[in-house]
């Protein structure tokens, strides 16, 4: 039974497609119909699962055309970021599971090599596809059993410097590789910078057709009327640049386009001819629209980038209600309050003004908020320059994306002791986005740097105080982390009060064993304490607040008054618990039989599920904390099923 039997969609052609090879027997008219059915199926599936809707809808025809012309999985189609891959997944044998997207034990929301041989390269971050494609192409040249390599990259992702590093290398190598520039005018936020302006002038009077011997008559002389109006942004090939050529040509690529990415009649002839005749690197410029074919997505400012479950007819999202604000909103509100008091406070984000909450800041302080595009390295060093000039920059980047700017954190911020404030969103396990977006490593890589102050909020009220702490701190770099999702519902302060640097707090007094919590596992620690109390065990609970500098006075007090300490944090080994253990070891505490344990994320990447499921699988929920304490105290308990 086809998956369409479980939905309201009627998809006779799509029902016949199990794998891309099934597209080979379809004519172009049938491919158009297939595209319509595929778009309907994507909308139906995402309405039930939530996920990245707009990006996939924007590449439906392109996905069909690529799979109809090229021969995956021998030919490697590499989707940059990967959130545009839902149509690809449906066409590559996973339609029967498409309604498990982003759920526990279901399909990943991104491409994933372990999931399918048709997912040539995994991607959860942007700007990596061209590098991977060049690697596949050179593997082919060196005898690997692979065919063509095709990178599909958005105009927003092209703002990442890595894309240009790869294009520069590809042009130098001169080997056949295809880059499809999916120009939809928009990444998650409007694309930033001179590159975007360049792309928005890419043709003036008619499409530029290089490869004239191949594609001269392959596409219409002019784009159809609906796209002409919307594409005035992208119209003129920048002449006079690099000795009269185009940017892409000077990088060694043959440029073809622009092409209407929603017109099978344009896509198919060009792709067929390029596959038959291209010899070196080729850039195919395709114009698309995010959310294409679904009015509620098209009308959204972000094109329907990320959505919860929704009603297909109205597009209304079915979001659960909560009395607690999200951590991201608390951060944004707190930073905005601080900025009203201090005109030197500025904010920096790397293409995520909505995700980091800085859109709120930008509305009130447009001249003091900077979206640098998908360029985390630049964001960090730009912030360092702002700090060196006397400003107070808050660099707000997801933990998983901050990894990309680590060299700049070391060299441009930490060594120079510049007071950049790092607001690290999406700390810990994030749920449906899975391993690629988990904030598992920032505690370790930040706390290892000399002079870096590293904090973690235990709840949303603590986050308010940590924003104030960062705003008041000028002695060097400082970082604070907080998770995705809603807060704990605690009483909120009217204003943030700067914390004493390196000082934690006792939450509840107990005896024998102390639990030293760092971050928002504190809520689960308190649940575990209730369960332990039923057994007559009352551990002391402390909130460390700081991983660096450590509150050594607090740790000394816990050692003096208890038999054992259990540390817990939402991060990988090498973070807070490791620093505590190093301190205790250097102090000779273990020489006298003192007991110490640390609970961290396991040494594995945890697949997507709900955050609750992920933390249970990681062994870091209240039940596992309770069991750890009992084991530490030598209390025998029945093994968990």
Q: Nearest Cα to 390, choosing from 360, 357, 346, 358?
A: 346
Q: Can you give the pLDDT at residue 638?
A: 56
Classify domain 3-299 at the CATH class level. Answer: alpha beta
Structure tokens at 309: 């479950």
Q: Can you give the pLDDT at residue 467?
A: 98
Provide the CA 254 distance to its chain's centre, in angstroms.
31
Q: Can you give the pLDDT at residue 189?
A: 52
Q: Can you give the pLDDT at residue 62?
A: 96
Please check whether residue 90 is in contact with residue 116, taking contact to mean a CB–CB distance below 8 angstroms: no
Q: Can you give the pLDDT at residue 320?
A: 64
CATH fold label, 505-632 = Rossmann fold (3.40.50)
Q: List binding-site positions for thiamine diphosphate.
A: 83, 124-126, 156-157, 184, 294, 376
Across 87-135, the runs of DSSP E, i.e. the strands, are: none
Q: Can you give the pLDDT at residue 199?
A: 42
Which pTM was predicted? 0.83
Task: Give the start-to-end residue ranges of the domains of the chain.
Answer: 3-299, 327-481, 505-632
DSSP3 helix / strand / coil % (the chain, rounded to 5): 40, 15, 40
CATH of domain 327-481: 3.40.50.970
Q: List binding-site positions.
A: 83, 124-126, 155-157, 184, 294, 376
Tens of pLDDT, residue by residue over 575-587, are 999 999 999 999 9
Q: Is 148 helix (H, G, I), strand (E, B) or coil?
A: coil
**Residue 16's CB: how many other CB atoms inside 10 A?**
14
Tens of pLDDT, residue by residue over 382-430, are 999 999 999 999 999 999 999 999 999 999 999 999 999 999 999 989 8
Please check whether residue 399 is in contact with residue 429, taking contact to mean a CB–CB distance below 8 angstroms: no
Helix and strand totals (H; E) in the chain: 24, 18
Q: Is 283 helix (H, G, I), strand (E, B) or coil?
A: strand
Q: Is the peptide bond before 451 cis (omega within 30 degrees of 0)?
A: no
Q: Is 145 helix (H, G, I), strand (E, B) or coil?
A: coil
In total, the chain counts a number of residues equal to: 641
Residues 465, 467, 470: CA angle, nearest 5 degrees? 110
Q: Is the peptide bond before 258 cis (omega within 30 degrees of 0)?
A: yes
Q: Can you give the pLDDT at residue 308?
A: 67
Domains 327-481 and 505-632 share a fold: yes
Q: Can you give the pLDDT at residue 159?
A: 82
Residues 6+ apart with CB under 8 A from 591: none
Q: Is the peptide bond before 398 cis (omega within 30 degrees of 0)?
A: no
Residue segments in the chain with a per-residue pLDDT below the cut of 70: 1-9, 185-246, 298-308, 310, 312-315, 318-322, 636-641
CA distance 269 to 265: 7
Would you name the residues annotated as active-site residues? 290, 376, 404
Please check whether residue 262 is in contact with residue 288, taking contact to mean a CB–CB distance below 8 angstroms: yes
Please check whether residue 176 is in contact with residue 75, taking contact to mean a CB–CB distance below 8 angstroms: no
Across 386-468, the runs of DSSP E, i.e. the strands, are: 392-398, 421-425, 453-456
């Amino acid at each position: 039974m086809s998956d369409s039997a479980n939905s309201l969609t009627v998809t006779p052609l799509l029902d016949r497609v199990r794998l891309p090879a099934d597209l080979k027997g379809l004519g172009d008219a049938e491919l158009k119909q297939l595209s319509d059915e595929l778009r309907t199926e994507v909308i139906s599936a995402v309405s039930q699962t939530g996920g990245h809707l707009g990006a996939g809808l924007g590449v439906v025809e392109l996905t069909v055309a690529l799979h109809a012309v090229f021969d995956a999985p021998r030919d490697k189609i590499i989707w940059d970021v990967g959130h545009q891959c839902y149509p690809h997944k449906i066409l590559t044998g996973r339609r029967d599971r498409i309604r498990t997207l982003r759920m526990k034990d279901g399909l990943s929301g991104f491409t994933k090599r372990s999931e399918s041989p048709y997912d040539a390269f995994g991607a959860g971050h942007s700007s990596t596809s061209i590098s991977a494609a060049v690697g596949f192409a050179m593997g082919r040249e060196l005898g690997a059993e692979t065919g063509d390599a095709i990178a599909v990259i958005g105009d927003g992702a092209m703002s990442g410097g890595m894309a240009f590093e790869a294009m520069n290398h590809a042009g130098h190598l001169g080997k056949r590789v295809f880059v499809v520039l999916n120009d939809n005018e928009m990444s998650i936020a409007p694309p930033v910078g001179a590159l975007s302006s360049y792309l928005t002038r890419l043709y003036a009077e008619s499409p530029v057709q290089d490869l004239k011997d191949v594609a001269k008559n392959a596409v219409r002389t002019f784009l159809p009327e609906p796209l002409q109006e919307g594409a005035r942004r992208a119209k003129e090939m920048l002449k006079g640049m690099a000795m009269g050529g185009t940017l892409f040509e000077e990088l060694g690529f043959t440029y073809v386009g622009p092409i209407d990415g929603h017109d099978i009649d344009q896509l198919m002839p060009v792709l067929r001819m390029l596959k038959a005749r291209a010899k070196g690197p080729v850039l195919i410029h395709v114009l698309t629209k995010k959310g294409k074919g679904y009015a509620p997505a098209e009308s959204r400012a972000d094109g329907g980038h990320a959505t919860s479950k929704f009603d297909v007819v109205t597009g209304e999202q079915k979001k659960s209600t909560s009395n607690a604000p999200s951590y991201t909103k608390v951060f944004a509100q707190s930073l905005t309050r601080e900025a009203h008091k201090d005109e030197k406070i500025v904010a920096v984000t790397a293409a995520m003004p909505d995700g980091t909450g800085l859109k709120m800041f930008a509305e009130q302080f447009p001249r003091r908020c900077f979206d640098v595009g998908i360029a985390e390295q630049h964001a960090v060093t730009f912030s360092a320059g702002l700090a060196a000039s006397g400003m107070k920059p808050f660099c707000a980047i997801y933990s998983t994306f901050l990894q990309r700017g680590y060299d700049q954190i070391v060299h441009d911020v930490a060594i120079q002791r510049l007071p950049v404030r790092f607001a690290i969103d999406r700390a810990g396990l994030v749920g449906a986005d899975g391993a690629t977006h988990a904030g598992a490593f920032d505690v370790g890589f930040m706390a290892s740097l000399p002079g870096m102050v590293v904090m973690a909020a235990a709840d949303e009220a603590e986050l308010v105080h940590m924003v104030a702490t960062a705003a008041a701190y000028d002695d060097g770099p400082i970082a604070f982390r907080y998770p995705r999702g809603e807060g704990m519902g605690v009483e909120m302060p009217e204003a943030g009060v700067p914390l004493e640097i390196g000082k934690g707090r006792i939450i509840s007094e107990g005896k024998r064993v102390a639990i030293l919590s760092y971050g928002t596992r504190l809520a689960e620690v308190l649940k575990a304490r209730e369960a332990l109390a039923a057994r007559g065990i009352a551990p002391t609970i402390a909130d460390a607040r700081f991983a660096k500098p450590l509150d050594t006075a607090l740790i000394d007090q816990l050692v003096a008054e208890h038999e054992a300490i259990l540390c817990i944090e939402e991060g990988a080994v090498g973070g807070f618990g490791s620093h505590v253990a190093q301190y205790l070891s250097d102090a000779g505490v273990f020489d006298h039989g003192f007991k110490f344990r640390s609970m961290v994320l396991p040494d594995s990447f945890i697949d997507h599920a709900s955050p609750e499921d992920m933390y249970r699988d990681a062994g870091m929920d209240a039940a596992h904390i309770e069991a750890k304490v009992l084991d530490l105290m030598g209390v025998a308990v029945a093994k968990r099923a």
